[in-house]
Amino acid sequence: MEAAAEGIEDLSGHITDKVCAMKHHRTTAAKPRSTTSDRVCYRCGGPHADSRCRFKDSKCYKCQKIGHIAKVCRSTHTAKVQPKNKHKTHVLDENNVTEQSYVLYSMYSTSAPLCRNLLINGTAVKFQIDTGASLSVMNKKTFVEKVNIPLKPSSKVLKTYTGENVQICGEAEVVVTDDVKTATLPLVVVERGGPPLLGRDWIQHLHVDLRINTIDSHDKKLQKLLEDHDSVFKSAAGCLRDVKVTLHGKPDTTPKFYRARQPPYALREAIEEELSCLQRDGIVEPVDHSDWATPIVLVWKRDGTVRICGDYKITVNKVCKGDNHPIPRIEDLAYALSGGDKCTKLDLSHVYTQLQLDEESRKYTIINTHKGLFTYHRLCFGISAAPGIFQRTMEGVFRHVPGCVIYLDDVYVTGKNDEDHLRNLYKVLSICEEKGLSLRRDKCEFMHQEVTFLGYRLDKNGVYPLADKIKAIRDAPTPRNTQELRSFLGLINFYGKFIPNVSQVLAPLYQLLRQGQRWCWSKAFSKIKSVLSLDKVLVHFKSENEIVLVCDASPTGVGAILTQPDDHGHVRPVAYASRALNTAGLTDHKPLLGLFGEGKSIPEHASARVQRSSITLSAYSYKLQHRPGRENSADALSRLASTLQPR
């Protein structure tokens, strides 16, 4: 086999396929040399004896002879040999300013190739990663099907490893989007070929992570850990031991009884089958009579099965107190997982039904079906208090596990490194096993570099928007009326936290919501699409790091940027904020230094609002500085259009 060039190992990471590369000059052939100080091997050109060369049984890919490699081959011509492998191995030869050719090829192993899904001009394309290819290549047929844009002439020369020329159709500049970033990159289109190849040029621009994180090739400790706790992975609902939850009814509540809704005959078999499964698992039990009864509604799940839910909004939810336990936001999850290198997501089977109801609460959950009355022994879907009850209970179960955060039926686990991560994961799985909780193995993700959560992507660096959401914004048609405009603004505001001057950019669009406005807005509509990209990132907040709050106020509004320095000393945004001022808030801000400055006493004759603000600030150690707008990075956030309605 040929020797791998330096640098390929750094790019390939832990990839098991061998990747080889050679670089030689077209004008001269490398010849073995001998010196008096050391011997040069004629087989490979290395500083060792010929008899000890590891390439003594290797075949030269230039002359096809045994005993040396192509780098030191003395043959003046290349043997034409048809490769037996069905895979075409691409050799990319760049013939531009220099007189060098780059001979690059991949040696395929028996394992499946490593692939990457990318968006090319908004269309999904599956690329095969080839770290031996210096350029990214796509065959003409695939290019026409997926991209189909005009090609430019190409000066590059492509050859197979046997020296045969590859016919080039041309090049195209395409917009490439993956889960991390978006970039405009060159794509070489060839007449024929196999799957699209993701070469080193795109790998370096997109910062593609080539490490394989599947369980089969990952650390054996993870696989052993999962095998040791295999009992917690099951499709049936678990049952939390020694805990029963309560539905708190309001005093003097009048029971409500509703007749069963007769389902279509085509659905009765599915309903009866689901009721049998719930009975078998001890989740429901038939009863003869009840003062309470709720009709059912059917919810079809993605796997084609049916979920039976009570229409509790007309019964239980009117008479039971809600549970207002807070559900985590994206900011809460990002802060809890900050400092972690990787993330594991565990999915609790059947969510609420893993919690037992006490005897008194079961009467509220009775459902009325065409097969009779059934009472729930477990917490069930449709009850308004269920999310808060479940969230509070699960947080209590896993409260002592570091690097663990709960979002309803999802358990997120992280750690500072792999050892710490595995240690925390062991604690979580042990608790599940001890408490009787069950997990769905097919929905779990173990030690991934990133996770998605409520429309965002999180990794160790920060929070990002999702690629499909960005694509939806970029592909959104121009709204034709105020209803469509409100829908578009709602989509933009979902990711507004990634746009530092969102209020200013959206000002012309908000103006169109007023009656009598002329709909002429192509520039504003295009601008908001262009400013939102996958490059936008909000770094994780770290409580131990210094906080820099950059603020500004204008006659129409206020703005702020919360920043923190990273490990390299670069200031990174944590959050953006901006809003319009109401009438009471319109004031000049430089005189506030005399009112709120550190060391200043609380003003006695100022307005009550100023006094309250001064008292609030007295609880902090701070220093106020006035910065002119031209020097203030938050200035744009406060310069909102005067047409914006103050809140």
Q: 48-80 b/e with 16+ CB inside 10 Å = b?
A: eebeebebeebbbbbbeeeebbbbbbeeeebee
Q: 327 or 527, which is more confident?
A: 327
- Which domains, ranges and CATH numbers included, belong to the chain? 1-29+76-211 (2.40.70.10), 232-457 (3.10.10.10), 461-590+626-647 (no CATH)
Of the ranges 105-119, 191-205, 303-317, which one carries the lowest mean pLDDT score? 105-119
Rounded (to 5) percent helix, strand, coil in the chain? 30, 25, 45
Does residue 294 contact residue 384 with C-beta atoms inside 8 Å? no
pLDDT band at 393 (very low <50, low <70, confident <90, very high): very high
Predicted TM-score (pTM) of the model is 0.54
Confidence (pLDDT) at 646: 46
**Residues 444-462, mean pLDDT to the nearest whole number:** 80
What are the beta bridge partners of residue 190?
Answer: 139, 168
Helix (H, G, I), strand (E, B) or coil at 312: helix
Q: 341 or 215, which is more confident?
A: 341
Of the ranges 341-350, 472-481, 482-491, 588-597, which one carries the lowest mean pLDDT score? 588-597
* Euclidean distance between CA atoms 626 and 640, whole angstroms: 20
Give the DSSP H or E segment for 222.
Answer: helix 220-228
Give the DSSP H or E segment for 310.
Answer: strand 306-310
Query: Mean pLDDT across the chain, nearest whole number?
Result: 74
**Residues 489-510, mean pLDDT to the nearest whole number:** 73
* Euclidean distance between CA atoms 175 and 146, whole angstroms: 13
**Maximal CA-CA distance, the chain:** 106
The string of DSSP codes covering 525-588 is HHHHHHH--TT--EEPP-TTS--EEEEEEETTEEEEEEEEE-TTS-EEEEEEEEEE--GGG---
What Å distances lie between residue 501 and 260, 315, 527, 643, CA to CA?
54, 47, 12, 16
pLDDT band at 184 (very low <50, low <70, confident <90, very high): confident
Q: 420 or 484, which is more confident?
A: 420
**Residues 326-337, mean pLDDT to the nearest whole number:** 82
- Taking phi over 0 as left and psi of -120 to 50 as alpha, with beta for the rest, 67 belongs to left
- pLDDT, tens digit, 9 for 90 and up, residues 228-278: 888 888 877 888 888 889 888 888 888 889 898 888 888 888 888 889 888
DSSP classification of residue 342? E
pLDDT band at 374 (very low <50, low <70, confident <90, very high): very high
428 has a pLDDT exceeding 80: yes
Confidence (pLDDT) at 634: 53
Confidence (pLDDT) at 431: 92
* Euclidean distance between CA atoms 504 and 377, whole angstroms: 54
Q: 594-607 b/e with 16+ CB inside 10 Å = b?
A: ebbeeeeeeeeeee
Confidence (pLDDT) at 566: 72
Smallest CA-to-CA distance from 573 within 628, 637, 638 is with 637
> Angle at the Cα of 94 (from 89 to 95), degrees rounded to 5?
135
Question: Which residue has tokens 């109401």?
Answer: 582
Does residue 188 contact residue 91 with C-beta atoms inside 8 Å? no
Question: Which residue has tokens 């100080």?
Answer: 37
**Residues 379-406, mean pLDDT to the nearest whole number:** 90
The string of DSSP codes covering 491-515 is HHHHTGGG-TTHHHHHHHHHHTTST
**Residues 625-645, mean pLDDT to the nearest whole number:** 52
Alpha carbons within 13 A on the beta-carbon side of 247: 29
* Euclidean distance between CA atoms 246 and 111, whole angstroms: 53
What Å distances lie between residue 273 and 226, 270, 367, 462, CA to CA?
32, 5, 16, 45
49 has a pLDDT exceeding 50: yes
pLDDT band at 17 (very low <50, low <70, confident <90, very high): very low
28 has a pLDDT exceeding 60: no
Confidence (pLDDT) at 429: 93
Smallest CA-to-CA distance from 560 within 533, 589, 584, 534 is with 589
The string of DSSP codes covering 142-186 is HHHHHT----B----EEEETTS-EE-EEEEEEEEEE-SS-EEEEE
* Euclidean distance between CA atoms 4 and 577, whole angstroms: 51
The contacts of residue 209 (CB under 8 Å, 6+ apart) are: 13, 449
Does residue 541 contact residue 335 with C-beta atoms inside 8 Å? yes
Confidence (pLDDT) at 211: 53
Confidence (pLDDT) at 78: 53
- What's the full length of the chain, in residues? 647
